[in-house]
Amino acid sequence: MITQEYVKQFEDKIKNAKSIIIMGHKNPDGDALCSVIAMARLIEQNYDKSPVCVYDGNIPDYLDAVPLRKRVRFFERVEETESFDVAIVVDYGTIKNIGGPYKFVENAKFVIEIDHHIKQDSVGALCMSDEKAAATAEIIYELIQTANLKMDITVASLLMTAIITDTGWFAFVKRGRVFQIAADLVDFGVKIQPIMNELDNKARKTIITESAAAANAEFLFHNKLAIAIIDSKSYKNLDGRGETVLGLLQQIAGLEYVVLLKEQKENQIGVSLRGKNNPVDKIANELGGGGHKNAAGAVVYDSLENVKNKIIELFKGVLK
């Protein structure tokens, strides 16, 4: 919960800062990217300061049309020696997930964090994290309300995009509050259809590669398990995790599990696991990975063939 106490400290630090940097986790998703941009715009419009926004890794194509996307710069393009009065870290999870921009956190005079990931230790002296929030954007909205900040339609749309992407169009919602926030945003003027169109922004080669992988999937255990493969040649055509492959196969009636094997390079296989109503997290753990109950993954350092056989063996334990 964001109290007046937090708001006082937040306002004090921002008002007195000459320089501010904002970042999310490496390889930003919708929540990380949009939360960074929304925070920057809020600070610009409410405190008349212009924060620097950075990322590490890659921003997927489907987020390229998000408002003010160009506001966010690759971290190596910011002066190494630059030290900031305030660093704001959003949606990061663990220090390791921040990647290269962590050096700005280490050098900052004051660190603020806003996050909804479960963690043991936090980086921010001012920590506005809430593990129960469906997205970091939900906490930013609470900050806007409690601090009585001005919010324009761009900020509102960014928050909605973050919420939609992080909740899988509300499929993963566990607490009703996020619906109240979404309702507020719609009443404020946010339109959902244009956000949907904005996120339909993948390259043609990506969709062709992903649909071909779905078309060539192998079905095992009386069609209860589908295994799709993206080899190293096609891997570069992917955008993000290959959600289209998983999404297409998951629509098949009677299918219980979907596995996507991505040959990132020789002997390095990215594994995505989905269980329609059944858990896959234990299988991900067995492979040295992790994730959520019904959506998990791992990276396994072995040949495509060996990883596939290992996964089939593991599924023998749950599917007969």
**Nearest residue to Mn ion on Cβ basis:** 31
Q: Determine how many CB atoms are found less than 10 A away from the CB of residue 203.
A: 14
- Compare residues 75 and 92 and give the one whose CB is closer to Mn ion: 92
Q: Which residues bind Mn ion (CB under 5 A)?
A: 31, 91, 136, 166
The CA distance from 307 to 312, in Å, is: 9
Q: Least distance (Å) from Mn ion to the CB of residue 199?
A: 15
- Compare residues 164 and 269 and give the one whose CB is closer to Mn ion: 164
Q: Least distance (Å) from Mn ion to the CB of residue 138?
A: 9
- Compare residues 32 and 230 and give the one whose CB is closer to Mn ion: 32
Tell me which residue of 279, 282, 223 sits closest to 253, measured CA to CA: 223
Q: Least distance (Å) from Mn ion to the CB of residue 142?
A: 15
Tell me which residue of 293, 219, 284 sits closest to 249, measured CA to CA: 219
What are the distances in angstroms from CA 290 to CA 238, 294, 304? 21, 11, 19
Q: Least distance (Å) from Mn ion to the CB of residue 159?
A: 12
The three-state secondary structure class of 48 is coil
- Compare residues 24 and 270 and give the one whose CB is closer to Mn ion: 24
What are the distances in angstroms from CA 254 to CA 52, 168, 199, 222? 49, 22, 29, 9
- Compare residues 126 and 178 and give the one whose CB is closer to Mn ion: 178
Q: Least distance (Å) from Mn ion to the CB of residue 93?
A: 8
Helices 136-147 + 30-47 axis angle, to 10: 20
